[in-house]
Amino acid sequence: MSEATQQLLAHAARRAAARPWFIAHVLDAYLAALGGEDEDLAATLDVSARTVSRLRLCRRLSEGRNEGVVAIAEGLGIDASRLANLLNAAEAALAVKDGAPRVSSALLAARHREPQDETEGDGHT
């Protein structure tokens, strides 16, 4: 890859951080919390700066994301467990930065509900 192409890739990766659907968004929150740089991410993942730029441009993963982590890791040549650990820490850093707890749909489904009044009946006898 030429130097000019590498610079364009790095520029695109930095711009992606402003958009919450890119992994770059959560990585920036993580780096801000630690006072780190992309070089620190490269060292953590044992990859090149180019690979970190490519990672930043990947779409952010949603819940139940194990398959997505594996696919990204295989596609970029990153150890999947290292990537999963980094993304978990990055998501946590973003949640702290935003100041709002992120509640999964599974937790919402399991929320406490008041018991029905026995006189209403639930259709079961």
Contact 27, 35 (CB under 8 A): no
**Cβ contact 14:28 at 8 Å:** no
Beta-carbon contacts of residue 69 (< 8 Å; ≥ 6 apart): 61, 80, 83, 84, 87
In angstroms, rounded to a whole number, what is the distance separating the alpha carbons of residues 24 and 20? 8
**Ordered mean pLDDT values, 10 residues apiece, the chain (125 residues):** 82 87 92 90 94 93 79 95 92 78 47 53 53
- Locate tokens 């952010």: which residue? 60
Q: Which residues pair with 22 in a beta bridge?
A: 59
**Residue 95 corresponds to which tokens in the numbers above?**
């949640």
What is this structure's pTM?
A: 0.72
